[in-house]
Amino acid sequence: MTLSDVATQARVDIAEGRTALGIELGSTRIKAVLIGQDYAPLAVGNHDWENQLVDRLWTYSLDSVWTGLQQCYAALVQDVRQRYDVELTSVGGLGVSAMMHGYLAFDSDGELLTPFRTWRNTNTGEAAEQLSAVLGHNIPHRWSVAHLFQAILNGEEHVGDISHLTTLAGYVHWQLTGEKVLGVGDASGMFPIDAATGGYDAKMLAQFHELAAGRGVELSLAELLPTIRSAGDSAGRLTEQGAKLLDPSQRLSPGVLVCPPEGDAGTGMVATNSVAPRTGNVSAGTSIFAMVVLEHELSRVHRELDLVTTPAGEPVAMVHCNNGASEINAWAGLFAEFAEALGVKVDTSTIFETLFTSALRGAADGGGLMAYNYLSGEPITELEEGRPLFLRAPDSELNLANFMRVQLFASLATLRIGMDVLQKDEGVRLDRMFAHGGLFKTRGVAQGFLAAAIDTPVTVGETAAEGGAWGIATLAAYAARRAPGESLIDFLSNKVFADAPVETTQPDTADIAGFDVFMQRYVAALPVERAAVSHGV
C-alpha cells in the first residue's frame, strides 16, 4: 500500500470506530495512543505533569488527574485532525493504565479520604516488614496493602471510613465506567494473588483481618478491594458521564467497550511481547523495573523480588527500583542550560543523543567515578530517603564520556542487585529480555549497558517506543477482537508482533567486566549514600 492508501484506510477506520484507544498515566507524562486494525499507532497525545511532595508524601491531586487526561485526549484529537482531516468521535475499544501500587481510599460517598499516596513513598517500612513476616510473602513498601496497614499502625482516623480501595488506573476506570474493577496484573500490586484461583489469596486475607483486629480495626479487606478481571474480559462500557469527563467538548460517544484497567508493569509486558514464560522486559523511566515471567515458583521469599502477574494472570517476578532516569534528565537539563548560556540553541533530543553517545567512549568501568541516582528512597538497598550523589577519587579520570557512562550505569545498578537474586540465587533463565522507555531512545547505548549488566541479550522494538499507552490500547483491542479461546500469548505473537521489526544487542565481554567492577565499587560505597541521608544533607 502507498502512503496515500494507508492514510485513506486510517481515515475510514477512525470515522467508523475500528480503532482502539489506550491512555496511560505515567509518573511524568500522561499519554494517549490510538491504534488501527493492524495495531500500529495512528495518532498520539501527551500531557506533562509532576508529582508533589506534600507533608513528606509524594502525591498527585485528583484535579490534576482530570485536567491532564482531558488535555491529553484533546491533544490526541488534534493529532487525528491534523494527520487525517477527520473528527474523532468514537473508538472500537478503550483502556486505561497507570502507575501501579499506591493508595487511593474512598468513603461510601466516593469521596477521597486522604491525598493519593503514590508508589514512590517509602514511609511504609514497618507495615511492609510485619506483613511480609506474617503472610510469608514479600510485601513491598509500594503495595496498597502496605499503605493501608501503615495507616492502621499510625492510628489514622480515616481508616474506619474506607469503603473502597483502588489504584490510579482503577480510579480512572471507575469514573469512566462506574465499575470498581481492576486487571489482575494491577491487582497483584495491591494484595497477593492466588495462582490457583486467580483471585486475592483467601488465607492471606484472613491473616490480614486478624492483624487489623489486633490493632482494634475491624474491616473486610475483600470487600474494599476492586473486583479482579483478566485480559480479554469486558470491564464495562464508557458511560455518558465518563465520556464527558474525558472529552468535555462532548464529541466522544459513550458505550465503548473498556478493557480491565492495568498497571504500567503489565502494559510494559504487552508492549514488549513479554507475557510468556522465560521472557522478560525492563521499563526505564522515572522508576526502572524488570518483569520476568516464571516457569515455576521461587524457592523462597526474597525481599528484592515482588511476585505479581501478567495481565492474563501468569506468575511474574518483579524487580522494582524507585529511581530510574530522573537524575540523568537533571544533568541533561544542566548541560542544556550551559549550552544556552553560550548562545547555542540545541534541541532536547540532540542533547540526550550527544550525552548518551559519549558514554560509549568511556572506560569500561567508568574510570573510577561513582554516582547514585537516588532522588527518593530505595527499598532494595534499604534506604528510606534518597540523595543524588556524584563522587570521584583524586586519581579517577573525569571526562564527559566517563561521567555519562557512570550516570547510565547508576540508573541500572539497583536493578542489577535484584536481577542477581533472580538469575544467580534462583537460577531463573531468560530466553529474551525486551527493553522500553525513554532510557533506550538513543540506539545502541543503554540497551548495550543493560545487556552487560544482566549478561543477557536485550531487544528493543518500534512499538515499544510508544510504551504502556500502546500496550493498554493493544489490550483494549484484544478485549474487543479476540477469537474464542485465543490466549493473550497467541494474540500477541500471531497477530500483533508477527512481523514487528526488532533490534537485539548481545552483551559485550568488556562491558560485562567493566560493569562488574563498577558494581563492586557501587555496593562498597553505599554507606556514603546512607550517611548523606542520615546527616540531613
Q: Sort strands 227-229 and 57-59 into parallel, antiparallel or unpaired.
A: unpaired
Q: What is the pLDDT of residues 280-289, one digit of tens each?
A: 999 888 889 8
What range does the domain containing 126 cover? 3-262
Question: Rounded to whole angstroms, how far apart are CA atoms 45 and 287?
Answer: 22
> In the prediction, which pLDDT does 411 show?
97
In a domain, 346, yes or no: no
pLDDT at 464 over 70: no
Nearest alpha-carbon partner for 478 in 311, 319, 315: 311
> In the prediction, which pLDDT does 1 show?
57
**How many CA atoms, within 13 angstroms, populate the side-chain half-sphere of residue 12?**
7
Amino acid at position 367, single letter: G
> In the prediction, which pLDDT does 120 show?
86
* Alpha carbon distances (Å) from 63 to 24, 53, 172, 180, 245: 16, 16, 12, 20, 11
In a domain, 163, yes or no: yes
Neighbours of 410 (CB within 10 A): 24
Could you give the number of structural domains in the chain? 1
Whole-prediction pTM: 0.85
Q: Sort strands 181-183 and 227-229 into parallel, antiparallel or unpaired.
A: parallel
Contact 123, 53 (CB under 8 A): no
> In the prediction, which pLDDT does 34 show?
97
**What is the domain-level CATH number for residue 129?**
3.30.420.40
Q: Sort strands 502-505 and 306-309 into parallel, antiparallel or unpaired.
A: unpaired
Question: Rounded to whole angstroms, how far apart are CA atoms 37 and 34?
Answer: 10
Spell out the residues 6+ positions from residue 319 whose beta carbon is closer than 8 angstroms to its own. Answer: 289, 290, 292, 304, 305, 306, 380, 415, 418, 419, 421, 422
Q: What is the pLDDT of residues 364-420, one digit of tens each?
A: 999 999 999 999 899 899 998 999 999 999 999 999 999 999 999 999 999 999 999
Across the strands, what pairs with 263?
Answer: 98
Neighbours of 46 (CB within 10 A): 16
Question: Rounded to whole angstroms, how far apart are CA atoms 358 and 400?
Answer: 7
Q: 9: pLDDT confidence band, cut at 50, 70 and 90?
A: confident
Q: 130: pLDDT confidence band, cut at 50, 70 and 90?
A: very high
Provide mean pLDDT across the span 218-240: 96
pLDDT at 264 over 60: yes
Nearest alpha-carbon partner for 336 in 361, 355, 323, 362: 355
Query: Which cell goes with 103?
Result: 493508595
Helix axes 326-341, 348-359, angle to 10 degrees: 110
pLDDT at 221 over 70: yes
Q: 3: pLDDT confidence band, cut at 50, 70 and 90?
A: low
Phi-psi region at 176: left, alpha or beta (left = phi > 0; alpha = psi -120 to 50): alpha
> In the prediction, which pLDDT does 537 show?
74
> In the prediction, which pLDDT does 49 show?
96
Spell out the residues 6+ positions from residue 299 whose beta carbon is closer than 8 angstroms to its own. Answer: 426
Would the CA dihedral through 393, 398, 403, 405 be positive or negative? negative
Rounded (10°) CA dihedral 339, 343, 344, 349: 60
Q: What is the pLDDT of residues 239-255, one digit of tens each?
A: 999 999 999 999 999 99
Across the strands, what pairs with 23?
Answer: 32, 96
In a domain, 523, yes or no: no
Neighbours of 172 (CB within 10 A): 24
In a domain, 289, yes or no: no
In a domain, 192, yes or no: yes
In a domain, 414, yes or no: no
Q: 133: pLDDT confidence band, cut at 50, 70 and 90?
A: very high
Provide mean pLDDT across the span 94-119: 96
**3-state secondary structure at position 482:** coil
In a domain, 59, yes or no: yes
Contact 358, 404 (CB under 8 A): yes
> In the prediction, which pLDDT does 205 show?
98
> In the prediction, which pLDDT does 285 show?
83
Angle (nearest 5°) at CA 349 between 346 and 352: 95
pLDDT at 24 over 60: yes
Unique residue bearing C-alpha cell 510485601? 139
Query: Which cell goes with 31?
Result: 499519554
Query: Which cell goes with 221?
Result: 479487606
Unique residue bearing C-alpha cell 484507544? 21
> In the prediction, which pLDDT does 176 show?
98
Q: What is the pLDDT of residues 41-66, one digit of tens each?
A: 999 999 999 999 999 899 999 999 99
Question: Rounded to whole angstroms, how far apart are CA atoms 44 and 79?
Answer: 7
pLDDT at 465 over 60: no
Q: What is the pLDDT of residues 137-168, one digit of tens each?
A: 999 999 999 999 999 999 999 999 999 999 99
In a domain, 131, yes or no: yes
Helices and strands, counts by H and E, the chain: 18, 20
Unique residue bearing C-alpha cell 571526562? 399
Question: Rounded to whole angstroms, how far apart are CA atoms 10 and 300?
Answer: 51
> In the prediction, which pLDDT does 14 show?
93
Contact 427, 398 (CB under 8 A): no
